[in-house]
Structure 1
Amino acid sequence: MRRTPAKLADGREIVYFDEGGAAREPAPDTRDLPPSATGSEMRWDPLLREWVVVASHRQGRTHLPSSDDCPLCPSVGGRATEIPAASYDVVAFENRFPSLVPDHGRELEDVGELEPSRRVGAGRCEVLVFGSDHRASFADLSPERARTVMEAWVDRTLALSALPGVEQVYCFENRGPEIGVTLHHPHGQIYALPFVTPRTLRTLDSAEEYRARTGGDLFADVLRAEQEAGSRVVARTEHWTAFVPAAARWPVEVHLYPHRAVPDLPSLTGAERDDFGLLYLDVLGRFDALYDAPLPYISAWHQAPVRDPRRGLARLRLELFSVRRAPGKLKYLAGTESGMGVFINDVAPETTARRLREVAQ
């Protein structure tokens, strides 16, 4: 794989990940672009003890354009896009409409909170494009391309973790307008966050309590229990197991755990990276076969915090879930889920796992 960094017209970084061949000579971005937005801020919720990001400039971001106006397609035929190249394999670039922005010393005034907490939403948001085919999805990728995407995740995790003030790197993909996708072109995103996310903190608390109570590794024991039970295992390879968790919140939910406990993507061996792609493509194929239609989903990598002293308690894993509960029916977050955070799953996890095993291609 060849890695080629370059700059876009407004100074944002772009990195090409090519699968061999001659070294890339980046084409110049000829667009006349205004400076990137810098209006992001963070506010502290004293009741939930969580940060909330306010990024009002994102209201004007590109929303479900036609394929002729897609900003992630190659720049061809005189139409300049976010990727100034006639062809590419995998590309990462700084988001033009970021939720988090570099902190250039901008000062924020108190707005009358209980305790002043406003801070610049300092961080970085990148877009990771999986290929130039506008009509494809991750499930359509070859194992070689899936491995290239994995190497891009690793590269960006290392680069963003090294930035000052970054506490966690989050790689994810949203697919389908039902999830809230605003661009159809196959892509994911990577957030370099200035804080450790609430879910990560809560799982670290759980792992710490479990270690003190039992002396064991919570994530290793969850994986072992699922493997021994077997009823919720969807597929298994030499280095990974995909299973529906016993307490799944979503009608279709699968977690992918590496058999070896590692904190983050860069810690995976070459064999583990290869093996992941094969299993992930298999699981995505099962997702689309479940209702004989592309399944909307969120695919979320959980990596250890960059600097948290409890980093050693964390474990890399991928959580994949869909809001589709039946053909033509979506699960909406109703009063219990949205109001109180109490999930009610209409489908038994064992049933979901059995269905996903049965639709193996």
Structure 2
Amino acid sequence: MTIRVWGYTDEYETERQEILGAVDRVFRSGMLVLGRSVADFEREFAQYCGVEHGVGVDNGTNAIVLGLRALGVGPGDEVVTVSNTAAPTIVAIDAVGATPVFVDVDPLTCLMDTDALSSAITERTRCILPVHLYGQCVAMDPVLELAERHGLAVLEDVAQAHGATHQGRTAGSMGDAAAFSFYPTKVLGAYGDGGITITRNQETAAELRRLRYYGMVDRYYVESTPGHNSRLDEVHAEILRGKLTRLDRYIADRRAIAARYEEGLADTGIGLPVLAPGNDHVYYVYVVRHPERDRIIAEMSRIGVELNISYPWPVHTMRGFAHLGYEKGSLPVTEALADQIFSLPMYPSLRREDQDKVIDSLRTILSNG
């Protein structure tokens, strides 16, 4: 039986009665769209993150799109971010008509190299979009200082870091706004797509609410710039409300799994995750590195262990973004990482015996290399 890099079925069996109860409560409520479940979840999730406002949307990509639009980013603007991220980060920037400008990443943490930020700022820069990757935060003080100096907005991409902290501050609470995904694999995942954009600013929140509902303030009347149909649905919101009460437990389970990997693989030659200073990691994915990555993945697959690569193609190397003009070698650290990184199975319900097989198999493959 294959050991998956991610799975939800064991977790579902444990939580099944509560999940079905959540569905039943929504169906019996008489309100299927933008009802009490969404409103309650928005408030509870924002409070968990330490901010005042949350606006539930249909997916994490639109959480970024609407976040950018609410912060005034649009055609002709530049957004400074990284290429070592999932493509939706950059798709969202393109969707508002802005241009992504990439900086390289730190070779140890794989996070935005904040020392490179100042050289990427131009007169067209409107926003910095740090990606809290793999489960830990970008060092935000340099980002915030540079943004204040140049009058820029900061939108955090927290799709992979629900509950992570940096110097005691929760991911998503440090910038002007923050975008989250609730895709099923996430640290806090729904049973389908979902997302939220959070902010401390009441005006930004009001703009987000308008934009996610066609641009309407009152029903049937578009007030100014048209928005989208980007609403989080009631069923997912109610399921997420229950899962939010267990988020800290999910994170503790992930950290325990990470600790076992660290102990079991410490002397194998695999490059293990590096915790950045001031961070608490939530291990959305457990990303390691090795120069023989492709051989390792192939051999593990043959014995029934599924691994993944997050991500095999830096965004600036994709044909769909060739128009941005980045040549091979322009982001050397990002490109080098893409040839070596891979992810081990990581999810709260990963069985101890399955993790032991992953560790033992890796040790055998590497010792025979």
Tell me if both proteins adopt one fold, taking TM over 0.5 as the criterion.
no
TM-score for the superposition, normalised by structure 1: 0.24
Higher strand proportion: 1
Higher helix proportion: 2
TM-score for the superposition, normalised by structure 2: 0.23
Higher relative contact order (CA 8 A, sep 6+): 2
